[in-house]
Structures are given as C-alpha cells and as structure tokens.
Structure 1
Amino acid sequence: MNYFMTMYAYKAKRNDGTLVKGKLESQDKKEALIELEQLNLIVYSIKELNSALYKDIYIGKPIKSKDFVLFLRQFSTLIDSGILLLDALEILSKQIDNKPLREALEQIALQIKEGISLSEAMRKYPKLFPNLLVNMIQSGEASGRLDDVLKRMADYYEKQHRLKQKVSTALTYPAVVGAMAIMITIFLLVFIVPIFADLFLSFGEELPAYTQFVLNLSETTQRYWWIIILSGILVVYIFKELTKRESTAFIIDGILLKVPVVGMFVQKSILARMTQTLSSLLNSSVPILEAVDITSNVMSNRVVKKVLLESKQSLERGESLSIPMKQHWMFPNLITQMITVGESSGALDEMLHKVAEVYDRELEEASDKLQSLIEPILIVFLSAIVGAIVLSIIIPMFSLFETF
C-alpha cells in the first residue's frame, strides 16, 4: 500500500504583522491549518501542491513490523511510568526515526490538545495503526485501563512479529533457491547451450531427441525471452486479481492449507495467530461476540475467517463457540476441547492463551523441520535441472568422440 503525506503552500502573518510564506506537510488541509495555528500564525491562504514532486511516497508498508513493536513497547513503558498521554506522544514523536509514524504522532498530539480521544485520532491513520489496536485502545480509554491495554498490545504485536519472522524464515529459503534455479536455467539456455549448438551443427551429426529438445528450448528462450517475461508478469497479475475475489481466494486459501508439508506449517501459524488474538481480546474484557468478530477481520485466510463467522453465529444462537470448529477439518481436537473446557469453566481466555503457547512452540519445531526437509529437496531439484541441461550436451559429445 502507498502512504501519502500531502504538501501545502501557505501564506500567513505573525502576531506582529510579519508576512510568512512556506510549505508544510500534513495528512489533510484541516490538520495543516491546526498545525499552523499551533505556531501562532494567522493563515489567510493555503493550497495543496498536487505535483508528485511535493509528495513523499512510501512503497509497501509505511512502518516495519519491528519498528511498530518498538513504538508500542516504548509507548506502553511511558504510560505505565505515569507520564501523561500528551507528554508521552511528544516524547515519542521526537525520538522515532520513522517519518510517517513521527508525523502521525505529531498530528495526534495536536488533536488530543483539542479534546479528541487517542483512539479517534489514531483511527485517521489506518495504514499505521491497525483496527485491532485502535479498538483495544478505545476499550482501554472507556475502562480507564489504557496502560494495561498498551502493555497487552505490545506483548501481542511482539508475538505476532516473532510469528511472522518464523514463517518468513521458513518460506524465504525455498523461494530464494527457486529463483536461483530459474536464473541458472535461463543463463544456461541463453549463454552456454548456444555455444555447443554451433559446435554440434558444424559436425553435421544427427543429435539425440533429448538434446534436440534442449537446443530448441534454448533457441525459443533466446528468440522469445520477452514473451516469457511478459507471460510471467501476466500470471502474477492474474493470480493477484483472482485473490481479490472472495470465492476464488477462498479456494486458494483452502488449497494452500492442504499442500503437503507446507500446508501443515501454514495451518499452525494461522491457528497460533488466531488463538493469540482471541485470547488477548478476551483478556482485555472485550465481549466475546465482538472479540470473535475482530479476530475474523484480523485473519487473512478466508477458510478460518468463514469458520470464525460461523462460530459467532453459533454464539448468537446460544450454542458453543467450538461447534463449527469441530465440524471443520482444519481445527484439531486440541483447540475444540480447550475451548469447550474454557467455556464451561469461565476461563476461555486462559485456555486460548495456553493453546497459543502450544502452537507457538509447535510452529518453531515445524519451522526447523520444514527447513531441514526442504533444503535437500531443493538441492536435488536444482541439481536435477542443471544436470538435465548438462546431460543433453554430454550425450552427443560421446557420439562425436567415437567418430574420431
């Protein structure tokens, strides 16, 4: 996603009548005016500079996961130490390096001075502050437990960050090796195979069918490389478009969960995130219906999202949260049984927390196993590709040597 801070040109006067001209970055025109008023300036002209030259554009997320966790941890520590909310925001805005977050905190501090609540001010920056965090802060403001909520959210997002790192570490290696395999194959077909093709042609000998196939593939790659690249881009584009459709995305998410080896790993990571989120919400006194609804919105996998929504409907009918989960293949007995026990004992948040810890440990073990299993498979795969191309060259070489 792109994150934009708009540049405004303004003309204003100081209290002594001195004319001031300048440029100011802000989220919108209203906030720009508020910021200028805070500087004791009397604004009589302000206009947006639409040129892309005056905009900061951030490709991808405007803040990294680890920076966001650090911000929450620092924010939680300051509030827990008894520092006033406004002072804490001003302290953080001065020491945070991330520009979008720093500017957002400056604007939030100005809005709080006007009497706007922290959650309401944060809600204006959805690309920086997730809905889950904003809702939890709103709950903390209403209950007077903002310090506890911030601490829980810092713990929660720290766990989520570690979870993402585990998933990323496990899946990055095969992706890198796969990309290397493609690049090596293209290199051999475009630069190495043609050298031997000319050599074979000069001898005029009939080539084995397998060698001829590789030579034809090499010639096609050289001649139509741009079509191959465009086709790759087109496939990626079509896939992204398909994932935007709920029905297609639901099927893709379901297939992903059933892929051998990788599917089990993805399943554990999803269940770990789901139980962590639901446990944190319930522990913060969020009503269970609202907690399940928020958790379903947090989940990116449509299969889990659908089951959670069915669980919410089950609760609305006065039935157990676990009934739809028991009927679905993705949810193991451990989760459904622990939820049932938690509901009957009134300690659902504690039971979910224990399940989250179990899956967190299992995910770490699964990550190590996945890497140890995939590594030799990928090495064999890469060796097979290179070996197949080299073999297509060596086979006719033996025939040529026999003629001399």
Structure 2
Amino acid sequence: MARYKYQGRDKTGKKSGVVTSKSKKEAVIKLREEGIRVLNIEEVPETFLTKDLSIGNPVKLQDFVIFLRQFATLIKAGVTVVDSINILASQTNSKALSKVLGQVEEDIREGNSLSSSVSKHKKIFSNLFINMVRVGELGGSLDETLERLAVHYEKQHKTRSKVKSALAYPAVIGVVAIGVVIFLLIGVVPTFVGMFADFGAELPAITQFVLSASVFTQEFWWVLLLIVIAFILAIVLIRQQKSTRYYLDLFILRMPIFGKLLQKSALARMTRTLSSLMTSSVPILQALVIVENVVDNEVVGAVIKDSRTALEQGRSMTEPMKKHWVFPPLITQMIAIGESTGSLDEMLGKVADFYEDDVENTTDSLKSLIEPLMIVFLAGIVGTIVLAIMVPMFDMFNHIQ
C-alpha cells in the first residue's frame, strides 16, 4: 500500500491529511466516498522508517504460486485481466504483491498490456514471468501460460524448500554448538579457575587450552564479534559483484557433500526454466538469455552464455556443456537428442523431472545421515570441554586420598 498526501474540501471546509491506498485513483475514490472533494493529491515518498524492508524478492514464492493459480482460474472463467488483477490485489496475503498489483491494474486501465505493466516491477516479476506472459498475450493463451507458470514455480518452490531443509539442520546445530561453547567458556569454566590455581599442580594440555580459550573469550569477545560481522559483510559484498560471485559459486559447487546437492538444484532450475520458456514458444536464444539471468549461479550461467554464443555461430548448444564439469553427460545427451529430434522442450522437461526427484531423494538421505553426525559433533565439543575440567579434578581427588 502507498501513502498519499491530499488537500481537499468537505462540508465543514478545507481538509488535508494522508490516505493509504493501492493507487492514486483508488485513493481519490476512497476520499470521495468519505465526502471529500480532492483538490490536490500526491504520493508520499517512502523513507527508511516508513517503507517495508525486504531482502531479495519481497513476495514469498508460495504467495506468488497461489496468485498464479487464482489468476489462471479467473481468466479461464472469462473474467477480464484488469478485473482479475483487481480481485487478486484485494485477496492476496502479501502486502508487497497487493501494492504492486494495484499499480499494475492502474497501468492496464490506462491502456498498457499486462506484460508491459508487470515489466515495471522486476523485483516482483522475473524476466521468465514477463516473457512468458508476453508470449501468452500474443498467442491468445494467457490462461494456459499462467497455469504453466504456476506449475513451474510450484516445482521450483518444492525443490528450493528441500534444499533449504537439508542445509538448515547443520546450520542450526552449528549455531547451537557455538552458543553452548560460549556459555561454557564464559559461565562455567571460570568457576574452576581458582580451584585449579590452588591445586598448584601442572594442568593437562587440554585443560590449559580450554582455560586460555575461556580467558580470551571473556576479554576479547568483541574481536570474535567483529570477525563474524566481517565474514557476513564479505559474503554480501562478494555476492554483489558478478566477478567475485563466480568464484563464490564455484567454491560452493566444489564443497564436499553439499556441493553436489546444490549443483543438482541449479541444474534442475536451469532445465525447468528453459523447458517452460520453450514450451511457451519463446525463441531459444532469448530463452537462454533469460535462463542465464534467473539460474542464480554464475558458474552455470557462464556455460549457458557460451551455449548461446555457440548457437549464434551455428553450432550445437551442447558443445560448451560437454567441456564443463558442472554439466553431467545425462544433460548434454538429452539436449543433443532434443536438438536432433525437434523435441528439446520435452527432453528438458524430463531432465528437470529427473533432477528434481534426485534433489528430493538426496536431501532425504542427507538429513538421515547428517542428524547423527551433528549430534556426535555437538557431543564431542561439549564433551571435550567437560573432560578438560574433570581430568584435573580427578587428580585433585587422588591427591586428597
């Protein structure tokens, strides 16, 4: 919702204030219903304190899929595009999507097409969505295109959720482990320092290490905090620069265990997107440009770019893929068959199905494997600290006896 500052007049005289609405036109209608004749109205610019803060796309993928399903149903039922947008803007649970749909509705009422209207909001609507909608408008099959987009984003949401669930468990356990270690080093270990000092005997190496770590953590906790902040900022800066993001993505794909999973996820997203675009009759060269931008992996994107260049030069798009380790033979062989038989969209869809199922199976296997390993890892860290405290205490008891 946008905020509009207005000046007007009602039965009591001049009146001014601020009204919240999806568009300027709707704000004027709302004020008229309240008996205010608007003399001047303008949108209030968003500030750091008033705007909704968001990282990446402010619309959840799940909300976007629901929007697509409902949109396709309304179009099939014979409801006009502009009325469908109006209905969906009032029904969606996403404030960001509701606000944008209000602006899209206003643009359409002014005579613009749906594709040109949504292209003004690329933070919400991807190039994939914009181009497929444009093709659907030209071919008179907007309802089918929206259904196809809904299926595409549903599969993407399912795959992404599986990957996130596989990565979330070790991340949570890691944070818990760090929290437990800090608590022990700051809250528990210092209570034994005086006791060990009175003991006077030489402490085991592991106990000396734990005591030193405790002293360092208490005195220089701010250094550890700065290291964490610097690490997070470094990752953010690396992700913002395309040249450095390539090497970060390369490192991620080369990681043991999780690298293969993320590679399969990227390939599933690439093949599914390319299949959806080609099924919607988007030209192959244009489709490859879109895939390069939406695949969200610079390593895969660089190979896609080389494949596009190969096609422009009259060669097969599989040539650069065959030379790169990130593309396994299954993909290159299936694409080559699709090129030779004229069924590239179908072949890409089958490859996408295979990798989406593979990601699902891999994540289930990883979670069953990682869970006991992370429990052992956490128990090992806590056990080491406890052991470092208990060993000298046993020596003390032996001397007393």
Aligning the two structures, in what range does the TM-score lie when normalised by the shorter sequence? over 0.9
Question: What whole-Å deviation, never above 9, does each CA across 1:159-201 have from its counterpart, x for those lacking one?
Answer: 1110111111111101001111110110110111111112212
CA–CA distance in structure 1, aligned partners of residues 47 and 277 of structure 2: 41
Question: What whole-Å deviation, never above 9, does each CA across 1:265-323 have from its counterpart, x for those lacking one?
Answer: 11111111111000000000000000111001001111000000000000000111111
Tell me, yes or no, if structure 1 residue 127 matches structure 2 residue 123: yes
Partner of 2:168: 172
Question: What whole-Å deviation, never above 9, does each CA across 1:242-267 have from its counterpart, x for those lacking one?
Answer: 23222322112112111111111111
CA–CA distance in structure 2, aligned partners of residues 164 and 53 of structure 1: 31
Tell me, yes or no, if structure 1 residue 22 matches structure 2 residue 25: no
Q: In 1, are the aligned partners of 2:307 and 2:321 still within 8 Å (CA)?
A: yes
Partner of 1:57: 52
Cα distance, 1:51 vs. partner? 7.4
Cα distance, 1:239 vs. partner? 2.2
Unaligned 5+ runs, structure 1: none
CA–CA distance in structure 1, aligned partners of residues 272 and 229 of structure 2: 37
Cα distance, 1:93 vs. partner? 1.9
Cα distance, 1:376 vs. partner? 2.2
Question: What whole-Å deviation, never above 9, does each CA across 1:119-160 have from its counterpart, x for those lacking one?
Answer: 121122222222211121112112211111111101111111
Q: In 2, are the aligned partners of 1:35 and 1:110 still within 8 Å (CA)?
A: no
Let me know the Cα RMSD of the aligned residues.
2.2
Q: 1:352 aligns with which of 348, 351, 363?
A: 348
TM-score in terms of structure 1 length: 0.92
CA–CA distance in structure 2, aligned partners of residues 239 and 138 of structure 1: 36
CA–CA distance in structure 1, aligned partners of residues 219 and 239 of structure 2: 33
Q: 2:209 aligns with which of 213, 229, 232?
A: 213
Distance verdict in 2 for CA 1:188–1:289, change over 3 Å: same
Cα distance, 1:17 vs. partner? 11
User: Aligned partner of 2:144: which letter?
Assistant: D
Distance verdict in 2 for CA 1:245–1:128, change over 3 Å: closer
DSSP 3-state at the match of 1:46: strand
DSSP 3-state at the match of 1:189: helix
TM-score in terms of structure 2 length: 0.92
User: Aligned partner of 1:115: which letter?
Assistant: G
Partner of 2:391: 395
- More off after superposition, 131-140 vs 336-345: 131-140
User: Aligned partner of 2:107: which letter?
Assistant: Q
User: Aligned partner of 1:87: which letter?
Assistant: D
Distance verdict in 2 for CA 1:47–1:102, change over 3 Å: closer
CA–CA distance in structure 1, aligned partners of residues 355 and 80 of structure 2: 38
Q: In 1, are the aligned partners of 2:264 and 2:359 still within 8 Å (CA)?
A: yes
User: Aligned partner of 1:259: which letter?
Assistant: M
- More off after superposition, 244-253 vs 168-177: 244-253
- More off after superposition, 183-192 vs 117-126: 117-126
Tell me, yes or no, if structure 1 residue 189 matches structure 2 residue 159: no
Distance verdict in 2 for CA 1:347–1:48, change over 3 Å: closer
CA–CA distance in structure 1, aligned partners of residues 304 and 255 of structure 2: 22
Tell me, yes or no, if structure 1 residue 45 matches structure 2 residue 40: yes
Q: 1:282 aligns with which of 254, 278, 288?
A: 278
Mapping for residues 95-110 of structure 1, pairs under 5 Å: 95-110=91-106
Tell me, yes or no, if structure 1 residue 373 matches structure 2 residue 396: no
- More off after superposition, 311-320 vs 225-234: 225-234
Q: How many residues align?
A: 395
Partner of 2:334: 338
Distance verdict in 2 for CA 1:244–1:95, change over 3 Å: closer
Mapping for residues 108-119 of structure 1, pairs under 5 Å: 108-119=104-115
CA–CA distance in structure 1, aligned partners of residues 92 and 249 of structure 2: 37
Question: What whole-Å deviation, never above 9, does each CA across 1:329-380 have from its counterpart, x for those lacking one?
Answer: 1111110000000000000000000111111111111111111222222122
Q: 2:5 aligns with which of 6, 9, 12?
A: 9
Distance verdict in 2 for CA 1:127–1:246, change over 3 Å: closer
CA–CA distance in structure 2, aligned partners of residues 351 and 382 of structure 1: 45
Distance verdict in 2 for CA 1:339–1:51, change over 3 Å: closer
Q: In 2, are the aligned partners of 1:7 and 1:54 still within 8 Å (CA)?
A: no
DSSP 3-state at the match of 1:102: helix
Distance verdict in 2 for CA 1:104–1:328, change over 3 Å: same
Distance verdict in 2 for CA 1:53–1:21, change over 3 Å: farther
Aligned residues with identical type, % of pairs: 46
Cα distance, 1:106 vs. partner? 2.3
User: Aligned partner of 1:23: which letter?
Assistant: V
User: Aligned partner of 1:45: which letter?
Assistant: N
Q: In 2, are the aligned partners of 1:6 and 1:55 still within 8 Å (CA)?
A: no
Distance verdict in 2 for CA 1:53–1:244, change over 3 Å: closer
Q: 1:291 aligns with which of 283, 287, 293?
A: 287
CA–CA distance in structure 1, aligned partners of residues 373 and 255 of structure 2: 15
